[in-house]
């Protein structure tokens, strides 16, 4: 398969996950229930109203981030070096360096207050001038706590929200006047969709000069056990159960974590962590599975390649935590079509012309 981002179907990752789960668990596909990723985060009957469940989803993410920044052993190496908060602060210096004396708008895909205030404070401490903040979310529960968190960092009249599906954004939604934007996708959310879906969405909104910052788990043999620990946290278990209740209802269920490889259309398989709830179907008495979350755990090279493939983005900085589990990646939208003008060699990832095979870059 050699698909380009534009040719790739939007919801394809979900099908790949269900097929991989069926192979792995031997439960037939017909007994594996799933919904598109966005369904966990909104209320289709009343999209602008935050229900108590949507509030809880927001606060679960916030709690995970608060612990990551507070606990100095999280993501540190064996000597206690380069923990999560040190790595994110260093990443802020990369962003400040790339912004270099230009006014920027801070755009957050999937707002959360803890890492964002940390990043914005670091950026301001490095002299960055922000022209405003735009939060993009399908979950309206984020607006109030975000406004409170940002009030001391950004003039409140310059803080805006757009409650819309990421799939339906235009570049005007993520820019103010003629200023370039720093677009952040934190909390591994880059891995909730197929890389080509993300590439296609970015192509619709990113303008030359914009920066795209992403936080991702890095899937390698040595990091998988630690990544699995993240899914054993009470917050992720509760998140899974909430998704189950939305899809299936209040039946008893058992939480499971699956580490699978999927064929996402590249030359090398892509690791993915899937959480599910197994339950007994009351109609048939058979064991069924509800896939409650999935997140690709790309290798660093896969993440670089997928950000650059089929877009005019180029990676300009990367930071890893001491335990090597989390990568902060910064890409810049070039003012030219990279397929036509190859003016530089990005890190070690440049591929031969006309190839879509990740293995060649590894």
Q: Cα separation of 178 and 73, whole Å?
A: 42
With a CB cutoff of 8 Å and minimum separation 6, the contacts of 109 are: 136, 137, 166, 183, 184, 185, 189
Alpha helices in the chain (DSSP H): 12-25, 52-70, 84-99, 113-125, 143-150, 195-205, 224-231, 234-247, 300-308
110 binding ligand SAM? (CB under 6 A): yes
CB of 285 to ligand SAM, least distance (A): 34
41 binding ligand SAM? (CB under 6 A): yes
Single out the residue of 34, 85, 139, 329 in contact with ligand SAM (rule: CB under 6 A).
139
Cα separation of the two ends of the chain: 19
Please list every residue from 45 through 104 that binds ligand SAM, using CB under 6 A. Answer: 61, 65
Single out the residue of 84, 92, 137, 198 in contact with ligand SAM (rule: CB under 6 A).
137
CB of 39 to ligand SAM, least distance (A): 9
Cβ proximity to ligand SAM, 257 vs 358, nearer residue: 257
Single out the residue of 133, 166, 244, 266 in contact with ligand SAM (rule: CB under 6 A).
166
Angle at 228 between CA 145 and CA 276, to 5 degrees: 75
181 binding ligand SAM? (CB under 6 A): no
CB of 232 to ligand SAM, least distance (A): 17
Q: Would you call 95 exposed, middle or buried from its count of C-beta atoms within 10 A (0-12, 13-18, 19+)?
A: buried
Window contacting ligand SAM (CB under 6 A); options: 135-143, 153-161, 305-313, 337-345: 135-143
Cβ proximity to ligand SAM, 110 vs 334, nearer residue: 110
Q: What are phi and psi of 289, to 5 degrees?
A: -130, 135
User: Where along the sequence are the contacts to ligand SAM (CB under 6 A)?
Assistant: 37-38, 41, 61, 65, 110, 112, 115, 137-139, 142, 165-167, 186-187, 189
């Amino acid at each position: 398969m050699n698909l380009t981002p534009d040719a790739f179907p939007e919801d394809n990752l979900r099908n790949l996950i269900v097929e991989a789960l069926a192979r792995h668990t031997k439960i037939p596909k017909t007994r594996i229930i799933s919904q598109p990723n966005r369904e966990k985060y909104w209320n289709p009957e009343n999209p602008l109203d935050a229900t108590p469940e949507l509030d809880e989803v927001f606060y679960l993410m916030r709690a995970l981030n608060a612990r990551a920044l507070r606990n100095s052993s999280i993501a540190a190496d064996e000597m206690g070096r380069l923990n999560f908060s040190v790595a994110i602060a260093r990443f802020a210096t990369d962003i400040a360096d790339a912004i270099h004396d230009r006014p920027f708008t801070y755009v957050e895909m999937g707002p959360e207050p803890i890492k964002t205030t940390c990043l914005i404070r670091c950026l301001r401490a490095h002299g960055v001038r922000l022209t405003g903040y735009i939060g993009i979310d399908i979950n309206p529960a984020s607006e109030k706590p975000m406004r409170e968190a940002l009030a001391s960092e950004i003039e409140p009249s310059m803080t805006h929200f757009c409650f819309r599906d990421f799939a339906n954004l235009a570049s005007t939604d993520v820019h103010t006047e003629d200023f370039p934007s720093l677009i952040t996708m934190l909390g591994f959310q880059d891995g909730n969709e197929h890389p080509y879906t993300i590439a296609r969405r970015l192509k619709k909104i990113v303008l030359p000069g914009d920066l795209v910052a992403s936080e991702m788990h890095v899937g390698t043999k040595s990091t998988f056990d630690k990544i699995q620990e993240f899914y054993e946290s009470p917050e992720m278990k509760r998140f899974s159960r909430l998704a189950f209740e939305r899809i299936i209802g209040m039946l008893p269920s058992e939480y499971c974590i699956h580490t699978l490889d999927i064929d996402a259309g590249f030359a090398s398989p892509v690791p993915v962590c899937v959480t599910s709830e197994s339950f007994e179907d009351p109609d048939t008495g058979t064991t069924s599975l509800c896939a409650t979350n999935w997140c690709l755990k790309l290798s660093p090279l896969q993440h670089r390649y997928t950000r650059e493939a089929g877009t005019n983005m180029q990676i300009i900085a990367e930071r890893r935590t001491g335990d090597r589990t989390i990568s902060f990646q910064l890409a810049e939208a070039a003012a030219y079509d990279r397929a036509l003008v190859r003016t530089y060699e990005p890190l070690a990832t440049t591929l031969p012309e006309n190839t879509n095979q990740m293995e060649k870059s590894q």
